[in-house]
Each structure stands twice: as structure tokens, then as C-alpha cells.
Structure 1
Amino acid sequence: MTDAEIVAALAEARKAAAEVPERIREIGRAAYAWRTVDAELAALSADTDTPVGTRAEPAAVRALTFAARDLTIEVELTDDALHGQVVPPRPGEIELRDRSGVVAVAQVDELGWFVLGPIPRGMFRLHLRAGDAVVVTEWITI
């Protein structure tokens, strides 16, 4: 065996050893999903993008409302940011997450207001920590 063949064989062995089997990937994704098992799910309860009645044209700003047991998260999507409020107001921290992870983090002020940006294209969700409350919204697609 030549030196070049040995180096190529070692490179192939190293590549094979670095690959993670799909079953192990599935186990990792399932374990990761349990990290928010104690968070309350806030369901989408209103979306101005959903046709209601007889509107002639779509709204200029898309408004979303996510309802949890003890609070709601109201959000308006503009071209460059996501403006929102936690009701009833409480300070905390909110994260904007897409499939790849955390995209943006913002502080929620004492009046419940926050601004996140940029708005992701595709699926996203919000993760709120405010006092003892931990709330995760369902996934929404833009």
C-alpha cells in the first residue's frame, strides 16, 4: 500500500467515524423537544391573515393573538419587525425562534411591550419567560 492510499484510507475511516447514525439523530431531536415540556402552549386564537367576512383587500399589517391560560401575546407583523404586547402586562424576555433555533431576543418591558426583528420567513414561534410564566406559542408560517 502506498502512502497516498494509506492517507486516503485514513481519511475515509475518519469520515465514517464522524457520521452520526440517523437513529441517534432522531433520539437527539426527541430529547431536544422535551426541553420545553414544562412550558405552557399558547394557541393561535386570532390571525388577520385568515379571511373573515367579506374583506375587499388584505390588511396592511398582520395581527396575531396567541392565548395561554393566564396571558395572551398580541403581535403585529410589519415589514421589518414584530411588535407585540403581553397581556396582562409583565416584564420578561421573549425569543423569536425558527427551525434553526433562536433568531432574536428582546426584553419585555413593565407594560408588556416588546419588538423583535428581523421577521423570519417561513415558520417561527415565540418563547416567553415572564416571572413564573413560561409560554411557547404554536408554530406560525409567514
Structure 2
Amino acid sequence: MTAFSDDHLLDSLGEAVRAAAAVPESFLATGRSAFTWRTVDAELATLTEPETAAVRGASRVFTFVAGELTIEVEATEEALVGQVAPPAPGRIELTPHRGAPTTAEVDALGWFTLRPLPTGLFRLLVETTNGSRVVTEWLSL
């Protein structure tokens, strides 16, 4: 029987913890792919004028259309504010290309505010209480 020193035991435990924490990139890619499938049944909203976004002072305005639903989003210095038309309560989710999603309530008039202002690529998912599910194209500010 071989006796192990405390240092050897701690080294072995540390190696086991590091090995368990290392997730292969193929696993991460599979997880990200599976996550995107959760919006597969949502209708795709397209940007009405992809080559240019309207500019109001220091903010930019984007308009997305999917069937009867329009999503107008204004990027201010601090947040994304917008309205869903026709107005319906629900929720909106901002999904960045990297990072955790942010959600906000859409009020009965269709208004919403998403904070903080996203950096990099993102898209929006709108779910109204009347059953509409719409996801926007990816965009960047």
C-alpha cells in the first residue's frame, strides 16, 4: 500500500476539478444550437429598411414587420424603447449573440423598455398574450 502526501492528494483533486470544468467546444456549440431551436415556431420579423435606420437626434429607430405585427424599436443612449402594434400585452426578450437574455414586460399599449443597451449582435423575441410569437433578424447598433 502506497501512502500519498497531502500535497499529492490536493494536486490530484485540483486536476480532477479542472478537468470537470473544461467543457469541450463541441458540447458548447451543440448547446447553443439547441437553444436557438426554442424560437423555431416564431414568425420572423424583417427589418423594413435594412440599408438605413431612421435617425432621431442621438437615437436610431428600427422597424420590423411580421404579418400583421409591427415592432418599432428606438435605441437611445441608455436603453431600447419601443412599441408593438397592434398593441397587446406580453413580454419581449433581447437575446445577445453572446451572453444571457434580458426580458421586459410589454404593457397593454404595446410599450416596452429594455435595459441595458445591447452591444454587438442581438435579436428580439416578442410574445403577446394573444398568442403571437415573433423573432427579429439579428442586428447591431
TM-score range, shorter chain: 0.7 to 0.9
The Cα of 1:50 is off from its aligned counterpart by: 2.2
Structure 2: unaligned runs, 5 residues or longer: none
The answer for the alignment partner of 2:81 in structure 1 is 83
The answer for the alignment partner of 1:24 in structure 2 is 27
The answer for the alignment partner of 2:126 in structure 1 is 128
Amino acid at match of 1:38: D
2: CA distance between counterparts of 1:17 and 1:72? 46
2: CA distance between counterparts of 1:44 and 1:2? 65
Aligned length: 135
The answer for the alignment partner of 1:92 in structure 2 is 90
Q: Rate the CA distance shift 1:39–1:10 in 2: closer, same or farther, 3 A.
A: same
The Cα of 1:116 is off from its aligned counterpart by: 2.1
Aligned pairs for 1:1-142 within 5 A: 1-46=4-49, 50=52, 59-60=56-57, 61-98=59-96, 99-103=98-102, 105-130=103-128, 131-142=130-141
Q: TM-score, normalised by structure 2?
A: 0.81
Structure 1: unaligned runs, 5 residues or longer: 53-57
Q: Which runs of 4+ in 1 moved over 3 A?
A: none
The Cα of 1:59 is off from its aligned counterpart by: 4.5
Tell me the C-alpha RMSD between the 2 structures: 2.3
User: Deviation string for 1:18-76 (max 9, x for gaps)?
Assistant: 322222222212211111111111111136x8289xxxxx6422110011122110111
Q: Rate the CA distance shift 1:75–1:20 in 2: closer, same or farther, 3 A.
A: same
Identity across matched positions, percent: 50
